[in-house]
Amino acid sequence: MVVGLLAACSGTDRLKYQERSVTEIYELALGYLNKGQYKYAAVAFDEVERQHPYSSWARRSQLMSAYSYFKANKLDEAILAAERFVSLHPGNKDAAYAYYLIGICHYKQIADVRRDQKETELAMASLSEVVRRFPFSKYATDARLKIELTRDHLAGKEMEIGRFYQKNDDYFAAISRFSNVVQKYQTTSHVPEALHRLTESYMAAGILPEAYKTAAVLGANYPKSEWYEYSYALMQKYNVQKPE
């Protein structure tokens, strides 16, 4: 018999200890999971590993614990549990899902572009691991999609900072940020605006040849974009000519 399995107290959200076998613990954890009592399920799956760390039940329970914490929106706990699984069982057939779960947990914590983007960067790194390690797994397709979304988010953060610098007449700092978007996030939706903002910033800084070049790149790649219309109008207004 094992000591320390948690069971729900009737009419409360607290747990009490009961003695049960390892199979009973696991089945009770599954029961909590099926009923949507995800916090209880996670604790019960953890108990399986605590009491029988070298059993096949423990290996299964580690991943089930991670999933239960995820469903309970305990994302940091889910990450820790999934990381523990891949550290102990890197070659297991379910390692792909564990890596994917880590990425999804970070992805769900992505903040507004006005805040620090640490979680966005962690999400991109974790999801990239899924694609790198398990390119043909069923999780890789969704991971690739979310990587593109995280890249777009990071580009949005660069744009937000660049616009701040531009608004405060710090044109060289703005140029640095907008250039990052064009160079590092070429496939994102922010590139046309970044090219226009570069044109504006080069113009404001008096660097007309570079302004012309960025406007030309914008016109060549996004000729129907509203941002090209703005840059073209700016070139016409100040009669900026092609550099010799």
pLDDT digits (tens, 9 = 90+) for 154-168: 999 999 999 999 999
Contacting residues for 203 by C-beta, under 8 A, at least 6 apart: 211, 234, 238, 240
User: 201 with 183: CB under 8 angstroms?
Assistant: no
Has residue 13 got a pLDDT over 80?
A: no
pLDDT at 19 (0 to 100): 61
**pLDDT band at 31; cut points 50, 70, 90:** very high
- Residue 228 identity (one-letter amino acid): Y
pLDDT at 53 (0 to 100): 79
Mean pLDDT calculated for residue range 169-184: 97
pLDDT at 167 (0 to 100): 97
Q: How far apart are CA 228 and CA 212, in angstroms?
A: 12
**Following DSSP, what letter does each residue of 42-59 receive, concatenated?**
HHHHHHHHHH-TTSHHHH
pLDDT at 7 (0 to 100): 47
**pLDDT band at 170; cut points 50, 70, 90:** very high
- For the chain, the structural domain boundaries read 1-72
